[in-house]
Structure 1
Amino acid sequence: MTAFDDGKDDSALRTIGEVSEALGIKPHVLRYWEAQFPLLKPLKRSGGRRYYRPADVALVETINRLVNAEGYTLKGAEAVLRTAAKSDVDRRKDNRRSTDRRIEPPQETPAGEPLIVGNNPEMDEAIAALKAVRAKLAAALDV
């Protein structure tokens, strides 16, 4: 997360100008992203003045990384964020469920053949890459 040099507490609200300056993103781009990303909803006070919470700043940083560093389109970045938010909700639901009802994965396919995992180096590599992407997305949302 971005460190602000304004002397405010890390949990303080930031104006659009402060966020713009700290992240190097023009204010009109931030306002546009608010329209394109439903998850980005800074507080609006009288006169329409925007105040970004730390979670909003983290989301802006994630959007900036997805769009400008990783090359996602705005729709693609929104899909990634929506999927990550949904998996976060699912994770919270799973934590509330009883651990007594865990289902063990089958060790063989219905045809009696061993599972593919561990038998195919290319598949193992693809699974490892997907797990790394999932971990990065989770880390980005846990900021």
Structure 2
Amino acid sequence: MHIDLPDKRYYKIGEVAKAFNVNTSLIRFWENEFDVLKPKKNKKGNRLFTPEDLQNLKLIYFLVKEKGFTLEGAKNKLKENPDEVFSKHKIIQRLEEVKNELIAIKNQL
């Protein structure tokens, strides 16, 4: 999954939800369920997500929405070997990018 957000230090929850095409309530729910999500909060209590939080959200989205893991299964997977999950996710993302590039080249021929 490729999210299209500009490079910033912090992202509001609405921006994050729109990028992932989910409701803000799901982002807040995942924040409560997964210990790796720790968005900062401003004085008003608004959540501000860092790029690191976005990477963790990508992993959670990948495991839950794309791979079909249950929340408990995704939690266990992230706890037992987060580096393996992250590297596999990066490889899958890169392969999808290459596939899209090849399809674009094929369509131009």
Normalization by structure 1: what TM-score? 0.56
Match of 2:4 in 1: 3
CA distance in 1, matches of 2:43, 2:80: 33
What code does the residue aligned with 1:34 have?
E
1:21 and 2:22 correspond: no
Which one has the bigger helix percentage? 2
Count of aligned pairs between the two proteins = 88
CA distance in 1, matches of 2:57, 2:86: 15
Normalization by structure 2: what TM-score? 0.72
Map 1:37-56 onto structure 2 (within 5 A): 37-56=34-53
Match of 1:31 in 2: 28
Structure 1's consecutive aligned runs of 4 or more residues displaced over 2 angstroms after TM superposition are none
CA distance in 2, matches of 1:65, 1:12: 23
CA distance in 2, matches of 1:28, 1:20: 9
Match of 1:76 in 2: 73
SS of 1:33's partner is helix
Q: Which runs of 5+ in 1 are unaligned?
A: 89-133
When Rg is computed on C-alpha atoms for both structures, the one with the higher figure is 1
